[in-house]
C-alpha cells in the first residue's frame, strides 16, 4: 500500500470529474471507466496504455521523485507511466521528466477538465522527449503555470 503524505489534507483537492461521470462496468478497465469510479482528490498513473494495468501509484500531494522511497510514487514507478488521470478539483498536474527540487528536462501538464490521457506516446515534454515511460515527478499547479498540455 502506498503512503499518502500526511501534509496534504483530504480537503486539498476534492475532485469533481469522477463524480461527474456515469459509471459503467463495461468501462472499468479503461481510463474513462476508472475516471468515473476512482476516489477524487488524486492524480493516478498506470504502466499500460488506457489505464489498463495495476496503478503505479496515486497522490494527493506533490512528489519530486517517483523513483525514491519518499512520496506517493516510489521505486520502480519512475519512467514507467503510459497513461494518467487527474481527479483534482482546482489544480492541473504538472509532470516532469526530471527529479528533484527544480527538475531539468521539461514538463507537460494534464488539465483537470480534460481529466485523463490514455496514451502518452504522442505527448512531449517542453524539452522535446516523449512523455511515455519518462515521467519522474509531479506537482499540482494553476493553469497559468502551464504552456504545454497532454492530449
Contacts with another protein by CB under 8 A lie at 5, 7-14, 16-22, 32, 35-36, 40-41, 62, 64, 89-91, 94, 96-98, 100-108, 111-115, 122-128, 137-142, 144-145, 147-151
Comparing CB distances to another protein, the nearer of 1 and 144 is: 144
Query: Can you tell me the distance from the alpha carbon of 33 to that of 27, in angstroms, rounded to the nearest whole number?
Result: 4
Comparing CB distances to another protein, the nearer of 4 and 89 is: 89
Q: How far is the CB of 98 from another protein (least distance, A)?
A: 7
Comparing CB distances to another protein, the nearer of 47 and 114 is: 114
Q: How far is the CB of 27 from another protein (least distance, A)?
A: 10
Q: How far is the CB of 130 from another protein (least distance, A)?
A: 10
Q: How far is CA 74 from CA 15, 58, 67, 80, 95, in A?
A: 23, 10, 5, 11, 15
DSSP 68-94: SSSSSS-GGGTT--SEEEE--SS-EEE
Q: How far is the CB of 39 from another protein (least distance, A)?
A: 10
> ∠ CA(28), CA(29), CA(30), 5° rounding?
95
Comparing CB distances to another protein, the nearer of 14 and 49 is: 14
Q: Are 88 and 13 in contact (CB under 8 A)?
A: yes
How remote is the C-alpha of 124 from its chain's centroid? 15
Amino acid at each position: 500500500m502506498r503512503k499518502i503524505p500526511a501534509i496534504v489534507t483530504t480537503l486539498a483537492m476534492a475532485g469533481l470529474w469522477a463524480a461527474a461521470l456515469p459509471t459503467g462496468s463495461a468501462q472499468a478497465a479503461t481510463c474513462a471507466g476508472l475516471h468515473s469510479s476512482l476516489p477524487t482528490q488524486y492524480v493516478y498513473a498506470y504502466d499500460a496504455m488506457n489505464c489498463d494495468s495495476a496503478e503505479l501509484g496515486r497522490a494527493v500531494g506533490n512528489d519530486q521523485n517517483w523513483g525514491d522511497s519518499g512520496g506517493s510514487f516510489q521505486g520502480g514507478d519512475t519512467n514507467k507511466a503510459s497513461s494518467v488521470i487527474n481527479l483534482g478539483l482546482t489544480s492541473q498536474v504538472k509532470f516532469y521528466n526530471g527529479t528533484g527540487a527544480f527538475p531539468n528536462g521539461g514538463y507537460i501538464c494534464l488539465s483537470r477538465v480534460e481529466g485523463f490521457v490514455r496514451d502518452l506516446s504522442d505527448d512531449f515534454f517542453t524539452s522535446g522527449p516523449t512523455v511515455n515511460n519518462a515521467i519522474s515527478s509531479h506537482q499540482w499547479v494553476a493553469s497559468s503555470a502551464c504552456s504545454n498540455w497532454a492530449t
